[in-house]
Amino acid sequence: MSDATEPWLIVGLGNPGPDYAANRHNVGFMVADLLAERIGGKFKRAQKAQAQVVEGRMGPPGPENRRVILAKPMSYMNLSGGPVTALRDFYKVPTDHIVAIHDELDIDYGTLRLKLGGGDNGHNGLKSMTKSMGADYHRVRFGIGRPPGRMQVADFVLKDFSSTERKELAYLVDRAADSVECLLAEGLERAQSAYNS
């Protein structure tokens, strides 16, 4: 069992580069960017992994204050496991102190679900992480809903949020960032009861 002094690795999943920046599949990056802003850090290239990282502390002063490494793998979504495992090993982070923030097709847009472990539900980023290090990490699942009509899933996740969705996006990203802070400070059950909708 890990203790309160061990660091947390918070991973926003997405694809690198400006062409993907506003895609549904990149909502993990959006949440990670906001968390970096909140702790007053800027992403820099990691020494030991194909990723960008920010190190800092999260939470109120006192026992709930946590050392965190925020990360955005720069390997493309379906290869996320390699960089995440390299960061886990370098920073000596227990697997249950890793949080993956990702888009989730099977949940309505804007709905959040936090959980520990479980399957990948066809998500290539999770599939790669689980293959590299097992499934016992936390997930913050950000609902994007299913594609309309006959649109292929791959096309849907690689499209930008619609203009209607964008009206709420900043608020929803903010709420997802809050849920990560709550998870670290108060534990999974408290975060689930506050944010799982």
Show which residues are catalytic: 25
Q: How many whole angstroms separate alpha carbon 25 and alpha carbon 47? A: 26
Say which residue the tokens 């965190």 belong to: 68
Residue 110 in tokens: 């804007």
CA distance 69 to 83: 13
Strands (E), 6-157: 8-12, 44-45, 51-58, 66-73, 98-104, 112-116, 138-143
Task: Report d(CA 129, CA 109) in Å as an integer.
Answer: 24
